């Protein structure tokens, strides 16, 4: 079982400067390595739509990859000795990061989902660095020891549970200060709940107005304070765009926007955790629509205002379920809102139509509920197929 804990850091002025400097240096290196990748890519890729009969093959430079870029760091430290001020493993995380973003762009992630073209990071946009092999004894009740930075005061508001190993430590600069995120691992936790009941299943669908609708016709609405802080975020965004570029007033507005962003993100996350907990307290299996690119563009995008953070919610839900020995099952999202949940007949309807009315079996129910029931049924049969094959 893997989980992560985040604590607030209280670095002194000197330590803050060191962290900021490290982030800046890593940002430069990130941009440099990314540029190297783009260079190679632009020079060596084949244009798809036309192929000249005669072409001059340039000398193929070696394709930069994780290991060659990682090896180049040795030379970097010779040419720019100040990079020795960064812990070597922290520095090595940069080519890894570049490799991951580049691969996601060209090949897609493990689900084949492709990301956009990687971007260069502007000042202040490089916010996290990671110690990939953090030692447990470097964290005490009120102090964390970070190599090359020092002993930083930390607020351990909840202790790390027994039996957990600290795998990595990431330092992040946020709008309101510095944080450390520890990823923890425990292999002793059982993977299935003792009285697990696969019939105790619920389907959930993202609602048009509500955050989600369950197959038992329960609606979970995003809390008022989240919606109001989202509105404040929007007005903060507008304020920034009204201000003149480069002005002090714009800088101030940007700072405010940053803290509003953080506020919304925190409240939303908190709401997602609570909602996941409520669901998993009552059900052993939660069926959701599989999120994929097709699903996102065809059925999701523009479907509802609650799409913001739906992916995050599913992640939280899946992690929580796994940790409790419960299950989240992802089902094929195609046609869940069109299909009739009682007879299976396809009833086409525009997004504006809130009700599902079936001409065959005369079922009449809210479209979100209809979809949630379909998701539940698909989840139940998916679960049966899984248990038969194992």
Burial 366-383 (b: 16+ CB within 10 A, else e): bbbbbbbbbbbbbbbeeb
- Which residues, listed in sequence order, are joined to residue 388 by a DSSP beta bridge? none
Joined together, the tokens standing for residue 284 give: 């052993």
Cβ atoms of 96 and 66 within 8 Å: the answer is yes
Cα distance between residue 100 and residue 104, in whole Å: 6
**What are the two backbone dihedrals, phi and then psi, of residue 135, each rounded to the nearest 5 degrees?**
-95, 135
Cα distance between residue 219 and residue 241, in whole Å: 36
Which are the contacts of 211, defined by CB distance < 8 A and separation ≥ 6? 220, 221, 222, 271, 275, 306
Looking at residue 1, the DSSP 8-state letter turns out to be -
Cβ atoms of 10 and 154 within 8 Å: the answer is yes
Looking at residue 49, the DSSP 8-state letter turns out to be S
Alpha helices in 107-192 (DSSP H): none
Hey, which residues between 303 and 362 contact Zn ion (CB under 5 A)? 340, 342-343, 345, 358, 360-361
- Which residues, listed in sequence order, are joined to residue 109 by a DSSP beta bridge? none
Joined together, the tokens standing for residue 220 give: 């979970």
The CA–CA distances, whole Å, from 299 to 287, 333, 347, 355 equal 17, 8, 15, 17
Give the footprint of Zn ion on this chain (CB under 5 A): 340, 342-343, 345, 358, 360-361, 363
């Amino acid at each position: 079982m893997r989980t992560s804990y985040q604590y607030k850091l209280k670095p002194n002025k000197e330590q803050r400067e060191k962290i900021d400097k490290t982030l800046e240096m890593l940002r430069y290196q990130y941009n440099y390595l990314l540029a190297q990748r783009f260079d190679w890519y632009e020079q060596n890729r084949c244009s798809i739509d036309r192929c000249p009969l005669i072409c001059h093959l340039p000398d193929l430079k070696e394709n930069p990859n994780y290991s060659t870029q990682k090896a180049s760091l040795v030379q970097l430290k010779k040419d720019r000795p100040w990079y020795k001020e960064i812990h070597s493993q922290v520095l090595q995380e940069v080519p890894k990061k570049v490799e991951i973003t580049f691969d996601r762009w060209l090949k897609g992630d493990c689900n084949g989902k492709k990301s956009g073209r990687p971007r260069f990071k502007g000042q202040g946009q490089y916010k996290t660095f990671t110690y990939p092999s953090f030692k447990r004894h470097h964290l005490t009740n009120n102090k964390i020891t970070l190599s090359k930075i020092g002993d930083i005061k930390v607020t351990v508001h909840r202790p790390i549970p027994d039996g957990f190993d600290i795998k990595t430590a990431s330092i992040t600069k946020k709008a309101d200060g510095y944080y450390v995120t520890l990823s923890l691992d425990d292999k002793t936790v059982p993977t299935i709940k003792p009285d697990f009941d696969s019939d105790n299943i619920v389907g959930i669908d993202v609602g048009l107005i509500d955050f989600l609708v369950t197959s038992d016709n329960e609606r979970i609405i995003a809390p008022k304070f989240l919606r109001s802080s989202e509105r404040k975020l929007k007005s903060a965004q507008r304020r920034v765009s009204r201000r003149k570029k480069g002005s002090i007033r714009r800088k101030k507005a940007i700072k405010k926007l940053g803290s509003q962003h953080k506020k919304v993100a925190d409240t939303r996350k908190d709401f997602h955790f609570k909602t996941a907990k409520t669901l998993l307290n009552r059900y052993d299996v939660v069926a959701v629509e599989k999120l994929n690119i097709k699903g996102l563009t065809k059925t999701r995008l523009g479907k509802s205002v609650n799409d913001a953070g739906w992916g995050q919610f599913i992640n939280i839900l899946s992690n929580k379920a796994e940790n409790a020995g419960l299950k989240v099952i992802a089902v094929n999202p195609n046609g869940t809102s069109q299909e009739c949940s009682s007879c299976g007949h396809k009833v086409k309807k525009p997004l504006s139509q809130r009700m599902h009315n079936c001409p065959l079996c005369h079922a009449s129910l809210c479209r979100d509920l209809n979809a949630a029931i379909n998701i539940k049924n698909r989840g139940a049969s998916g679960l049966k197929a899984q248990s038969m094959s194992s």
